[in-house]
Amino acid sequence: MTERLVRFQHPEKTLGYLGGVDDERLAALYGLDVAAYQQLRTGLAERAQAAARDLLDDDEFAAKVDKLPFEPGQRIVAIGESTTDDLLSWFEILRHLLALRRPADDITCVNLAVSGHSSTQALTLLPALPHHAPDWILCMLGGNDAQRLGSPTGPTLVSLTETDRNLTALRDLAGHRTGARWVWLTPTLADEARVAAYPHFQRAGLTWANEDLTAIGDLLRQRPEPTVDTRTVTDPDRHLDDGLHLSLAGQRAVAATLVETLATL
């Protein structure tokens, strides 16, 4: 459980008002000493890098990484929730793909995703975006909006209409403030049987339905900006035991889908 918390929960992203949270304080939050905390972080980074190396072993795929439309010196910012905040996420794998394949390009990847964020909460990131001076913004939101409360027929946390409004506002305001190019990623689908059986979701009265996640993906596919459709990442080995979060195999599949899509821009 501790490794899972370190992998998905990063309080330093939301506690900036404290003036910086060092490893000693973070380790204490997880009930670890500094060395154990740093070892966990390093191990996760090494696993993400290994996934990138495995992808690059395919010469055809490596050539597509060369074709990604990111220019030397550019900054790529990711906005999202746990699927992106994950230290084994598709975005962390992308970071390693670029560092391994195109080191001379000196492309910077900044992960602003926060586990648990809905599209409404993500709007609070807008004031900070200009500070990061992004040339590209990759946005994967909506998975938490679609959670149903109380029962499978209960209300979603954020209605589809409000999700649409939030994502439009996020894109329009961020574009106005930064001029960055924008790319959407659809929420991945869930393993509904695992979601229903997961004890922590049962106790909290939470569930997810692919019908709701698909509706958000359909909204994104209608937008004029490029959209990476991740809804094909559905094999059983691509989810963790909760049926919602992705395994490393799932994250690797999302990273591959991203590269396949953006290499054609």
| Cα 9 from Cα 116, distance rounded (Å) | 9
Domain ranges of the chain: 51-262
What's the CA dihedral at 159, 162, 167, 172 to 10 degrees?
Answer: 170
Q: Which amino acid appears at position 200 of this protein?
A: H
The whole-model pTM stands at: 0.96
Is residue 80 classed as helix, strand or coil in its secondary structure?
strand
CB atoms near residue 100 (< 10 Å): 15
Q: Which is nearest to 210 in space by CA: 131, 148, 137?
A: 148
Its CATH class, for the domain covering 51-262, is alpha beta
| Cα 47 from Cα 31, distance rounded (Å) | 23
147: its two tokens: 């959670």
Per-residue pLDDT of the chain (265 residues; tens, 9 = 90+): 899 999 999 999 988 777 778 999 999 999 999 999 999 999 999 999 999 999 999 999 999 999 999 999 999 999 999 999 999 999 999 999 999 999 999 999 999 999 999 999 999 999 989 999 999 999 999 999 999 999 999 999 999 999 999 999 999 999 889 999 999 999 999 999 999 999 999 999 999 999 999 999 999 999 999 999 999 887 778 999 999 999 999 999 999 999 999 999 9
Contact (CB, 8 A) for 104 and 124: no
Q: Which residues contact 197 (CB under 8 A, 6 or more apart)?
A: 243
153-208 pLDDT, tens digit per residue, is: 999 999 999 999 999 999 999 988 999 999 999 999 999 999 999 999 999 999 99
